[in-house]
Chains A and B, each alone.
Chain A
């Protein structure tokens, strides 16, 4: 029984850890896909100096020179009045990550290469084009709207483009000894991966936060392993003493114990890894692909194991066991052979421990306070760790005080016994309750963080991408032509002209905009002076982004020097998530006056949302503008929403898992305590309480403790999210995510944790209600 709880506890902790890892990896993959779908490429590309095509000879020459490239052909494909961007790629040379994971899973490689070929598309598009083409259509969530993926030869055939390609992707791992190709001679230009992309920076922050929570979950797991091992040792105290009394040398006992622990941790760790895999892949079909990548690539239907991943999981299990067992082993070394077992002595002892713990809490809070005054990411994490540990250690003390209060408010004998007895049981349960606190705080923290992130991100998309369409023309002339073409066709055309410059000694962008309701209604201003938009438009003031403002400590009214000895005044500060650089917005006229040769390629188009798609198509058709130069805001948004929803499922799964583990910790503690419990409830039974009543009280006790822990975990969780969003994020990325609270989520969490607590208390309570009187009477037996 003890062995079983120990194995299950360890396995669950390992499962939690590996599950979080898998989920983290999945989130990463999702966001990378989102970023890619939003028009970003991670690869350096070789594009022709002129025109739209690269002849096959060039491709062959490059490959001969030992340069690893993968060809892409892009073109417009019209199917039933709709234009799509058809992308043909070479599945054999395409780098990892070019094609979404899901697509790789669903595509059957043989039919992909042979007529009638296959086309991979977003489900919506897939529905539309099915039947319009001979090719088999495969729907994959993560493909961007309007994009169709297919084999290179298929694309060449469908677009009637002979054997041309339009771009070459330079693969990330080039052979070392290859001489760099002379691009000039091949009439090629290298284009680096899109840099400074807002969205990838934004997701970088999200990863950091998720990683922090991964560590947290691991800490919860450690707590639980510690608890199970401690309790298992406690139960076997008598056995150890007998063995020692019978003359077994201490060293031998220790060696035997360590061998046993090692064995148990290996078995449990392995089981946990498998469990984590199974749980994650059952709960989330999406994760399956990522998981396969983590655990081993699936080749010919067999799971080949990735040793590092597994070794890491096992190492965690073994190390966790070692850390958790250290204290218990030390106790055995110090254990006197003949001291009688004194189950009640702990009550006094734990009071002293409580004081020690209180001092430790204060020390940790002091560390956190110092850390909060320091700069840097390390200090941020120190703050986080200090606060969390302090909260966990403070829990038993606070609970004890609350129970003391409850006991003194209670009048009737049973309630006052109930509270007093609950308080006395705290030492035995505190470890499990701490784990529950951390699990709940993590839940609330994750929820707050992900929710804030989502709301902020979507809101920000709404604000910053207020125009329905964004166009980035290929040249200033084209932009001019386009603008005059669009003027009568759109509600408004908003130029967004810019220069790259240095502001306050660091690279920055300066944008010029005109005064328009779009900005006044939507722009995310954090701080602003009076009549800010008029001042900006008339050239009397500038807006700066949050990053620049935080770095230079700027506020509305401060003076700001722009390049060309341009003195202006800060009129407002706006949020600019994900941008690593400074940004300044000034009136368009003022900017043009000082920098007449600025880039005039970008503009936004305001138009009724239902006409946006058609207009985008018209521009593509009439001007031959590549799809990636026109951003359709609504499609982009709905796509990002979809990806965020996926992360929500993932976090929900994480929450269920941590709660399950914490619930299990409570169960093991209760089971271990139940032997001792019999001695404590038997007198009450003798005095006239039924076993059923006593069992109900036990249930109530767990629920009350869980509920109190939950209430305490809410501020801890919020504090956690706050530290992550406003301290760590600022340290790591230079901008602050506003925090939002979701009280309805807490209500749900309360319900779930209550259910978890009741479930874990149900079995011990049931056992108590069925305990035969003879068992209870043994408590009173004289011979002991």
Chain B
């Protein structure tokens, strides 16, 4: 049974200006990601994984080709429409966690959901519970360990039940045991919310936990 694609990337090209002419990072990348699917994106450092993730998250625009989220093509959108798309349907988990330092754990978790107008206190409380953060709700990010911070980031990503979750090496900054625990709860919650997950990683082991795997090399998927 195939479901409608949450994310569609077709023949996307992306280059950055370099010292000696443009650097072609992506050369015609295409992929489909249906709801409920989990996809691992692997590749060498500098192969363009983050770049592709940013394009998928409507954070940046391709030079050529199309990116659509839930059927909305991102290239035709203005700044504010693109921001609205991110706010309502896309969540990103970063390697550096990138929490809001001035807000406590509870407010960090509920932030994007409330921005999107989908703040649900019970669901947030459930999330915090499952993430093992129930005792830390009034703490601030800098008072938490790396693993705890990443769990807050995951909670924030899923609080609004987005259609698309993007994660850029979410366990890259964590030791193996912590990383595995974080990954477990993340996959569990993604399944729970029926989101599509695109995860960038360079760990074979982590990639192995995903339903599908793609490898980026020479600007193309193999």
Question: Do A and B come from the same complex?
Answer: yes
Chain A contact residues, CB within 8 Å of chain B: 344-345, 347-348, 412-414, 416-417, 420-421, 423-424, 680, 682-693, 773-774, 776-777, 779-784
Interface residues of B in 11-35 (CB under 8 A from A): 16
Complex-state Cα separation, A175 to B107, whole angstroms: 83
Partner among A680, A783, A784 whose Cβ is within 8 Å of the Cβ of B100: A680
Complex-state Cα separation, A523 to B114, whole angstroms: 69
Contacts of B161 in A (CB 8 A): none
Contacts of B45 in A (CB 8 A): 783
The answer to whether B86 and A687 have CB atoms under 8 Å apart is: yes
Complex-state Cα separation, A535 to B83, whole angstroms: 84
Asked if B87 CB lies within 8 Å of chain A CBs, one says: yes
Partner among B59, B101, B103 whose Cβ is within 8 Å of the Cβ of A777: B59
The answer to whether B115 and A689 have CB atoms under 8 Å apart is: yes
The answer to whether A780 and B98 have CB atoms under 8 Å apart is: yes
The answer to whether B172 and A690 have CB atoms under 8 Å apart is: no
Q: A348: nearest residue on chain B (CB-CB)? A: B142
The answer to whether B79 and A424 have CB atoms under 8 Å apart is: no
Contacts of B110 in A (CB 8 A): 413
The answer to whether A782 and B168 have CB atoms under 8 Å apart is: yes
Complex-state Cα separation, A303 to B61, whole angstroms: 61
Stretch binding the partner chain, chosen from B89-97, B126-134, B180-188: B89-97
Q: B61: nearest residue on chain A (CB-CB)? A: A773
Partner among B96, B103, B119 whose Cβ is within 8 Å of the Cβ of A784: B96
The answer to whether B95 and A687 have CB atoms under 8 Å apart is: no
Asked if B99 CB lies within 8 Å of chain A CBs, one says: yes
- Report if A780-B114 is in contact (Cβ < 8 Å); known contacts: A344-B142, A680-B101, A773-B60: no
Asked if B116 CB lies within 8 Å of chain A CBs, one says: yes
Contacts of B37 in A (CB 8 A): none
The answer to whether A417 and B111 have CB atoms under 8 Å apart is: yes
The answer to whether A688 and B116 have CB atoms under 8 Å apart is: yes
- Report if A779-B98 is in contact (Cβ < 8 Å); known contacts: A686-B92, A687-B86, A688-B87: yes
Asked if B80 CB lies within 8 Å of chain A CBs, one says: yes
- Report if A781-B103 is in contact (Cβ < 8 Å); known contacts: A347-B142, A691-B79, A692-B79: no
Complex-state Cα separation, A685 to B119, whole angstroms: 19
Shortest distance from the beta carbon of A781 to any chain B beta carbon, whole Å: 7
The answer to whether B102 and A412 have CB atoms under 8 Å apart is: no
Contacts of A680 in B (CB 8 A): 100-102
Chain B contact residues, CB within 8 Å of chain A: 16, 45, 50, 54, 57, 59-61, 79-80, 83-88, 91-92, 94-96, 98-103, 107, 110-112, 114-116, 119, 140, 142, 168-169, 172
Contacts of B119 in A (CB 8 A): 413
Contacts of A424 in B (CB 8 A): 101-102
Contacts of B142 in A (CB 8 A): 344-345, 347-348
Contacts of A684 in B (CB 8 A): 100
Q: B112: nearest residue on chain A (CB-CB)? A: A687
Pull 23 A–B residue pairs with CB atoms less than 8 Å apart, ordered by A: A344-B142, A347-B140, A413-B111, A414-B115, A421-B102, A423-B102, A680-B100, A682-B98, A684-B100, A685-B83, A687-B112, A688-B87, A688-B115, A688-B116, A690-B79, A690-B83, A693-B83, A773-B59, A774-B16, A776-B59, A777-B54, A780-B95, A780-B96
Contacts of A774 in B (CB 8 A): 16, 60
Shortest distance from the beta carbon of B53 to any chain A beta carbon, whole Å: 9
The answer to whether B60 and A417 have CB atoms under 8 Å apart is: no
Q: Beyond A417-B103, A779-B98: 8 further Cβ-contacts under 8 Å?
A: A344-B101, A347-B101, A413-B115, A423-B102, A424-B102, A689-B83, A693-B83, A779-B96
Complex-state Cα separation, A653 to B61, whole angstroms: 51
Contacts of A777 in B (CB 8 A): 50, 54, 59-60
Shortest distance from the beta carbon of A215 to any chain B beta carbon, whole Å: 38
Shortest distance from the beta carbon of B141 to any chain A beta carbon, whole Å: 8
Contacts of A682 in B (CB 8 A): 98
Shortest distance from the beta carbon of B120 to any chain A beta carbon, whole Å: 13
The answer to whether A413 and B114 have CB atoms under 8 Å apart is: yes
Contacts of A783 in B (CB 8 A): 45
Shortest distance from the beta carbon of A769 to any chain B beta carbon, whole Å: 10
Shortest distance from the beta carbon of B74 to any chain A beta carbon, whole Å: 12
Contacts of B116 in A (CB 8 A): 688
Q: Which of B61, B92, B98, B169 has the most CB of A within 10 A?
A: B98
Complex-state Cα separation, A773 to B59, whole angstroms: 7
Contacts of B80 in A (CB 8 A): 690, 692
Partner among A416, A688, A779 whose Cβ is within 8 Å of the Cβ of B83: A688
Complex-state Cα separation, A782 to B79, whole angstroms: 25
Partner among A348, A691, A782 whose Cβ is within 8 Å of the Cβ of B95: A782
Q: A418: nearest residue on chain B (CB-CB)? A: B102
Contacts of A345 in B (CB 8 A): 142
Q: A416: nearest residue on chain B (CB-CB)? A: B107
The answer to whether B114 and A683 have CB atoms under 8 Å apart is: no
Q: Which 7 residue pairs spanning A and B have beta carbons closest together?
A: A688-B87, A420-B102, A413-B114, A424-B102, A688-B86, A683-B98, A690-B83
Contacts of B112 in A (CB 8 A): 687-688
Contacts of B59 in A (CB 8 A): 686, 773, 776-777
Contacts of B83 in A (CB 8 A): 685, 688-690, 693
- Report if A417-B102 is in contact (Cβ < 8 Å); known contacts: A412-B114, A687-B111, A689-B115: yes
Complex-state Cα separation, A384 to B142, whole angstroms: 41
Contacts of B107 in A (CB 8 A): 413, 416-417, 420
The answer to whether A782 and B115 have CB atoms under 8 Å apart is: no
Shortest distance from the beta carbon of B142 to any chain A beta carbon, whole Å: 5
Contacts of A685 in B (CB 8 A): 83
Shortest distance from the beta carbon of A102 to any chain B beta carbon, whole Å: 58
Shortest distance from the beta carbon of B139 to any chain A beta carbon, whole Å: 12
Shortest distance from the beta carbon of B38 to any chain A beta carbon, whole Å: 21
The answer to whether B79 and A683 have CB atoms under 8 Å apart is: no
Complex-state Cα separation, A779 to B168, whole angstroms: 13
The answer to whether A781 and B88 have CB atoms under 8 Å apart is: no
Complex-state Cα separation, A777 to B168, whole angstroms: 12
Shortest distance from the beta carbon of A331 to any chain B beta carbon, whole Å: 21
Q: A413: nearest residue on chain B (CB-CB)? A: B114
Contacts of B94 in A (CB 8 A): 683, 780
Complex-state Cα separation, A416 to B108, whole angstroms: 11
Contacts of B57 in A (CB 8 A): 686
Q: A421: nearest residue on chain B (CB-CB)? A: B102
- Report if A688-B96 is in contact (Cβ < 8 Å); known contacts: A416-B107, A421-B102: no
- Report if A420-B54 is in contact (Cβ < 8 Å); known contacts: A686-B92, A687-B86: no
The answer to whether B50 and A782 have CB atoms under 8 Å apart is: yes
The answer to whether B103 and A420 have CB atoms under 8 Å apart is: yes
Complex-state Cα separation, A414 to B57, whole angstroms: 22
Q: Which of A680, A682, A683 has the most CB of B within 10 A?
A: A683
Complex-state Cα separation, A423 to B114, whole angstroms: 21
Shortest distance from the beta carbon of B209 to any chain A beta carbon, whole Å: 20
